[in-house]
């Protein structure tokens, strides 16, 4: 596995080189998809309400990672939880 940081112009150039290959197999299709998603890795870190995440995880008996996943997918919060 390779890991590299590309600026926008480099990403566009590499995407063009991949598309110029014509018919893409699964590996190059995956590489092209990764390039499309790579831009989002440059976004600043999220500022999550960790106290709330910890509280919800403890109340449900699940991991904090599961709570973050739930929050990202639109977890509905009870009115009494919203005020806390």
Confidence (pLDDT) at 84: 47
Least Cα distance to 11 among 29, 34, 45 occurs for 34
CA distance 10 to 57: 41
The whole-model pTM stands at 0.43
pLDDT tens, residue by residue, 11-56? 889 889 988 988 888 888 888 888 877 776 666 666 778 888 899 8
């Amino acid at each position: 596995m390779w890991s590299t940081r590309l600026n926008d112009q480099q990403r566009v150039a590499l995407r063009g080189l991949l598309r110029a290959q014509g018919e893409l197999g699964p590996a190059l299709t995956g590489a092209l998809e990764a390039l499309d998603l790579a831009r989002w890795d440059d976004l600043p870190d999220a500022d999550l309400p960790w106290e709330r995440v910890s509280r919800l995880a403890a109340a449900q008996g699940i991991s904090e990672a599961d709570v973050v996943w739930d929050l990202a997918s639109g977890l509905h919060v009870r009115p009494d939880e919203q005020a806390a």
